[in-house]
Amino acid sequence: MEDQVDFLNLPPLHTNSLTNRLNLILQLKEHINYTTETFEQYSDVGLNLCKCMEKLSGSFTCYQEFQSDPTLRSISNLLDSFQSTLKNHYLQIEDLIIKPLIKFVKTDIREAEEKAKRANQNVDNYFRNVENYVALKKKNTNELQEIEGRLMASHWQAVESDFSFHRALDLVERKKLIEITATVCFLESAVLNGNPKILKIIILYQKKNFSS
């Protein structure tokens, strides 16, 4: 009930609370942008590495004497498998980390910022009308009825935009748990713990070519 009254009366504690929540989200936005840029660099370097490996593997098939050498053919096959698995890994980084985080920042967080601006403008306008109404009421002028109409209209705009801002913050705070958790889970399984396909290829190659 108290929260509902705050949405109607728009006290400073209420509006300051929303501002503080937005500031925390803007800090999160900076961290996400830095993280996204880091992963973009990681993915770009990795995909370039895959291209180099693909060219190197292809060079083994350019000469007849290379094709008949089982060791070189084995290396070429290893490079193909390694390149394919790595490329899939870096594409997963783009699809499961980079793109969702960029979308989160450019849609949900941006919408919260825009609604914050609109709410602040409407709340400021409402309190200006309150001040004008109080000043005119003391003078008891004929403009009082007109200012009352403006006051009621501005109050509705302020309440509506303030509540919309509040809902946008709620959405971002809920979705950040999903987006960040999904990113951490993917990192733990695919990066920190190693890609099992890559490890399997390396182990098989070692057993085949270096076992005594």
Asked whether the predicted pLDDT for residue 203 surpasses 50, the reply is no
Asked whether the predicted pLDDT for residue 6 surpasses 90, the reply is no
**Residues 118, 162: Cα–Cα separation, whole Å:** 8
CATH topology of domain 25-210: Substrate Binding Domain Of Dnak; Chain:A; Domain 2 (1.20.1270)
Asked whether the predicted pLDDT for residue 89 surpasses 70, the reply is yes
| pLDDT for the residue numbered 141 | 65
| pLDDT for the residue numbered 155 | 93
**Residues 186, 209: Cα–Cα separation, whole Å:** 32
**How is the chain split into domains, by residue range?**
25-210
pLDDT tens digit sequence for 144-197:
778 888 889 999 999 999 999 999 999 999 988 877 777 766 665 655 555 555
What DSSP letter does each residue of 89-139 carry, written as one string?
Answer: HHHHHIIIIIHHHHHIIIIIIHHHHHHHHHHHHHHHHHHHHHHHHHHHHHH
| pLDDT for the residue numbered 187 | 65
pLDDT tens digit sequence for 116-151:
999 999 999 999 999 888 887 777 666 777 888 888
Residue 211 binned pLDDT confidence (cut-offs 50, 70, 90): very low
